[in-house]
Amino acid sequence: MSATEQSPCGCDEREAQPSPHFNPPGQPALRYRLGSHRSFLRRMIARLSQQALAAGQRPLAALTTRDAADPSLALLDAAATLADVLTFYQERIANEGFLRTATERSSVLQLARAIGYELKPGVAAAVYLAFTLDDTPASPAQTVIPAGTQVQSIPAKQGELPQTFETSVEFVARKAWNALRPRPTRPQDLSKGATTLYLAGVETRLQPGDYLLLVGTERERDPGSERWDLRRVLSVQAYPDATGGYTVVKWEPGLGSNRPQMLPSAQPQAFAFRRSARRFGFNAPDWRLMPADVRRSYGGTATSGEWPRFAIDGSQPQIDLDAAYPKVVPGNWVALLTPGYAELYRVTRNETVGVADFGLSGQVTRLAVDTTENLSRFQRRETVVLAESELLPLAEEPILDPVTGNQIEVAGVVSDLVKGQPLIVSGKVNLNDEQPTSAIVFVEAVYPNPGFTTIVLRDQGLGATRLIRSTTVIYANVVAATHGETVPVTPIGSGDGSQTHQRFKLKKSPLTYVSASTPAGIASTLTVRVNGVAWRETPSLYFAGPHDEQYIVRRNDDGSAMVQFGDGVHGARLPTGAENVTATYRFGIGQAGEVGAGAIALLKTRPPGVRSVTNPLAAGGAEDPETLDSARANAPQTVLTLDRIVSLQDFTDFAAAFAGIGKAQAMAFRRGEQLVIHLTIADASGDPLAPTDPLFANLRAAIDAVRDPTVTVELASFIPLTFRLKATVRYDRRYRDVDVVAALEQALRAAFSFTQRDFAQPVTAAEVIAVMQPVAGVIAIDLDQLAYASGRAGSHPTLLAASPARQVGSAIIPAELLLLDPAGIELALIAVEVL
């Protein structure tokens, strides 16, 4: 039949060609159908007039009706419907046969098992708990916190459920470790050059201009000792606090600057001189102005320049002051000052006497002092006498340095801390911080000192974190814990030696898996015993012998777990018995366990002497059971790495498949002649990982177990970056503006979320517009601004870059991850009339 010919029915009955079966690579679904109901029906109708017998006759050529109500056409319609249904399911079956296109969890599960991969069951969150013991005098000094001690979180908001955590190891807690404090003060350094003194209290009555004496106790035993110095106060500043406060006194120049022979004292004392006096006769009239008869009466001569006996010979340890000063008592210090020189003396006796000389008379204080050394240098008119010395109590110097680095000095003598013991250091970086910053550190060494203890921390300790000393607390009763609640030993079934592959379901779900340094990154908490004997869990029974006491665990779509045993060929059958199969395990897993700092506060089991518990750091390192999309990406990695690391890509694949790790990227660098593999990682929740996190440590140990030991490997958490955008949106006014804004924000947050972005992936203006434009109601987008929100300054009209891992000198900087800031969307909407 030609292209212009028609069948006797008057319709075009050229045979419809089947659809081609070409599928480009990387498609999310296969096109596998031979046709649809319409194409099948057209094809069968076309063959009614063309169907020929062997003799060449066309017996149906006379059937010219094409009425759908005709029984013949109805029969063809039914056949086309059948073919349509069959090909639909044929295509679905074909899609379920490939990992990329399968949509059913069971299909992905079976395809993954075909290459030895089991969908990851998830991993429980890990946390460090700080216990506080009862510190009353009657309470014991220490108590044992058993492994498996249960604590529970308090939900932070409506809809959350309390989560149970259990301690991982047994721990001996001590009352003295409840809350250690950084050493707040240290002895003052009053050696040569010092210009500051700390005094106890705030009521010192010192004023700028007062004289301050610093003297060692050696001066009491040796009047010739030079361990003293005298300074005039420049400033006085009081700092009151709950303990009485302290006062800071400053002077210039530094100690010893004008007394180079002065040595620092082991026991310095500080004295304030409350009185400034003069020697008797300092105000005597000028001898040269005296009348001749006065001069003769004193036995002087007209040519002498001063009163007779006016000069101080210094042979007697005696000082006459210009008035009576009854508060100058034995034991006081007095300092004699003359321009350019000062000397210190100790009062041994004080008496009030009447004196008349040099044209003066009156009651004066006569002091006997401990030495005559240099008394002759202090003549009457030039000398100032500093007296009424008052002892000022010294305070230790406050330590204002932040708590940082790998060494902490704590107040008091702390004993029994051991190498490797975890500590939690918590404090504020800025005084206006709402919440303290906490870090887990580990003890490397402990050095007791008089009045304080130096704790050296492993590796970098606190690193560059700088905590304000007065806000910092060190918790030493710290125990690692993981999410999940233990189910005591419970029968799960009865063995029957006549049956193969017996299966029993665990009553509680989901089964808990904790982070471990295995290739998969997890370890099960399940222990199965048969007749009291523990059997061993194995990934597959294929290699098990007929007498191997092994079992496998299979997880169902609802999160429950099945324990399956062998058939006597691959794995032993269960022996017959009544409820002779028992199990103990924990249940609870995933990101529900990633509770915030301070959320864990309830003791479900309270060891004796324990008063409270908390988690200064948030729980982390969890991962929900694997999704289909994740399984499609991770399952092939089983055959890529085969639990070993050879190539650079193997590092990325191995880490990405490790339970609890959300992203990984490996880069190779040269440090001199040394090859360094740098691995940037993030946890499954999109949070950075500290080297002290259990997940970080387990990943490192797992990599070290299967890599080339001659290669240096460094792990580091990613550097977070966020961006913001500002756009003008023209939208169809038939839509509600709030709905358009909500849809745009949802689309943007989904497209630029942690799960959708890779390390070092840039953000372009075209990409942002491509995400926004398909939203219902949007007509046009004008992107006004694209800028970094945190982690970096600057903006660009078309592109924001994120850097991969890079080498700067000998240091390697981790890769950056650029995500949308939570408050980074600013939209201006303009309603447009659509004709």
Strand 228-239 relative to strand 211-216, pairing: antiparallel
**How many Cα neighbours within 13 Å face the side chain of 412?**
8
Structural contact between residues 230 and 345, judged by C-beta atoms closer than 8 angstroms = no
Average pLDDT, integer, range 579-593: 95
Residue 557 banded pLDDT, cuts 50, 70, 90: confident
117-151 pLDDT per residue, tens: 888 899 999 999 999 999 998 899 999 999 999 99
Can you give the pLDDT at residue 260? 60
Which uninterrupted H or E stretch holds 737?
helix 737-751
* pLDDT score recorded for residue 203: 93
Asked if the model's pLDDT at residue 798 lies above 50, the reply is: yes
Q: What is the pLDDT of residue 262?
A: 62
pLDDT of residue 242: 82
What pLDDT score does 266 carry?
A: 67
The 10s digit of each residue's pLDDT in 474-498 is: 999 999 999 999 999 999 999 999 9
Q: Are strands 581-587 and 485-493 parallel, antiparallel or unpaired?
A: antiparallel
CB atoms within 10 A of CB 435: 11
- pLDDT-based confidence at residue 19 (cuts at 50, 70, 90): low
Which residue reads 């590092």 in tokens?
651
Q: Which of 323, 318, 310, 319 is nearest to 364 (CA)?
A: 323
State pLDDT tens for residues 286-301. 888 888 888 888 887 7
> How would residue 596 be classed by pLDDT, with cut points 50, 70 and 90?
very high
d(CA 221, CA 89): 108
Mean pLDDT score across all residues of the chain: 90
pLDDT at 302: 67
Q: What is the pLDDT of residue 604?
A: 94
Whole-prediction pTM: 0.81
Residues of the chain with CATH 2.40.30: 399-476
DSSP letters along 88-149, please? HHHHHHHHHTSTTT--SHHHHHHHHHHTT------B--EEEEEEEE--STTS-SEEEE-TT-
What does the pLDDT look like over 503-513, one tens digit per residue?
999 999 999 99
How many angstroms separate the first and last alpha carbons of the chain?
48
- Which range is least confidently modeled, 298-302, 333-337, 343-347, 792-796? 298-302
Q: Which two tokens stand for residue 264?
A: 């620092």
- Are 281 and 364 in contact, with CB atoms under 8 Å apart? no
Encode pLDDT of 722-733 as tens digits: 999 999 999 999
pLDDT value at 8 more than 70: no
Residue-level pLDDT at 5: 46
Instruction: For residue 411, give the nearest of 177, 184, 174, 175 by alpha carbon.
Output: 184
For residue 3, the model assigns a pLDDT of: 43
Whole-angstrom Cα distance, residue 804 to residue 445? 37
Q: What is the pLDDT of residue 425?
A: 96
Type of residue numbered 611? R
Domain with CATH 3.30.70 in the chain: 643-717
pLDDT at 626 over 60: yes
Q: Residue 294: what residue type?
A: V
**Looking at the domain 399-476, which fold is it?**
Elongation Factor Tu (Ef-tu); domain 3 (2.40.30)
Q: Say whether pLDDT at 658 is over 60.
A: yes
Would you tell me which CATH number, out of the four given (2.40.160, 3.30.530, 3.30.70, 1.10.8), belongs to the domain 643-717?
A: 3.30.70
Has residue 4 got a pLDDT over 70? no
pLDDT in the model for residue 13: 54
Task: Tell me the C-alpha distance between 256 and 416, whole Å.
Answer: 43
DSSP per-residue codes, 674-685: EEEEEEEEEETT
Lowest mean pLDDT among 5-19, 159-173, 624-638, 808-822: 5-19
Nearest CA among 457, 440, 471, 757 for reference residue 619: 440
- Residue 261 has what pLDDT? 57
Output the pLDDT for position 250.
96
DSSP string, 524-568: E--EEEETTEEPEE-S-STT--TT--EEEEEE-TTS-EEEEE--S
Cα separations in angstroms, 659 against 111, 714, 734: 20, 19, 48
State how far the alpha carbon of 328 is from the alpha carbons of 275, 312, 346, 381, in Å: 9, 21, 11, 21
Average pLDDT estimate for 434-442? 94
